[in-house]
Amino acid sequence: MSKIKLAVFDMAGTTIHDESSVAKSFQFALNKHGYNFVTLEEANQKMGYSKPQAIRELLEIHEPTSERITEELVMDIHASFVSEMVSFYTNDPSVRAVSDAEFVFKELHQLGIKVALDTGFNREITDIILARVGWTDGLLVDATAASDEVPQGRPFPFMIQKIMVELGIDDPKSVIKIGDTEVDVNEGHRAGCLMSIAITSGVFSHEELIAHRPSHFAATLTEVLEIVKAYEKAYQQ
């Protein structure tokens, strides 16, 4: 019997190949609404957050008149971002799963561990990505959660908790979280997960993530699998 019952993975940058496309779409949406000085680096720093929250935080940097930062403005920029992302994930040939993702998902299932995805995207974008990579049939991915389906996105624990309820898992110490951003790591911590594993193949480096105290570091998803197998072996003894 496996001690670990559920592995919750981030999407863009962790299980879905990303060439800063999300950050570039953020930058484009803000530029389109007159915020021309938002840099790609700033946009990258907001990866992992729910997208309206990320937009609001970038506006707080670049809009000198705080009264102009209204919910309507945030939603207008978010609509531009969603439109750009829908077009990208529907049509761009670069959209694909990370090379070892499906292998790792299958191996986790062999160990009796369910696989789920959570994301800072809304449900519309999430479903487009799942369809593009062929993860809609329930064979590789047991559950998904999008940031617009919960009261607050990462780093709050609500998406992990939603997935746990859906899959009938009660103990967060039987759950591990895997992602490439600080909010992924902190989401795992806030949910009380057994492990909160930082992937260093995404936006953030080992040095940038270490301050957030991930339980483990992994350069690839295959390394995550090795961490899980080592834990399971020790647990069985």
Residue-range domains of the chain with CATH: 6-18+96-236 (3.40.50.1000), 21-91 (1.10.150)
pLDDT above 90: residue 148? yes
Overall average pLDDT of the 219-231 stretch = 97
**Backbone angles phi and psi of 136, in degrees to 5:** -105, -5
The pLDDT tens digits for 201-221 are: 877 889 989 999 999 999 999
pLDDT above 70 coverage of the chain, percent? 99
DSSP the chain: --S--EEEEESBTTTB--SSHHHHHHHHHHHHTT-TT--HHHHHHTTTS-HHHHHHHHHHHH-S-GGG--HHHHHHHHHHHHHHHHHHHHH-TT--B-TTHHHHHHHHHHTT-EEEEEESS-HHHHHHHHHHHT--SSSS-SEEEEGGGSSS-TTSSHHHHHHHHHHT---GGGEEEEESSHHHHHHHHHHT-SEEEEETTSSS-HHHHGGG--SEEESSHHHHHHHHHHHHHHHH-
Predicted local confidence at residue 124, as pLDDT = 93
* pLDDT tens per residue, range 7-57: 999 999 999 998 888 888 888 898 999 998 888 888 888 888 888 888 999
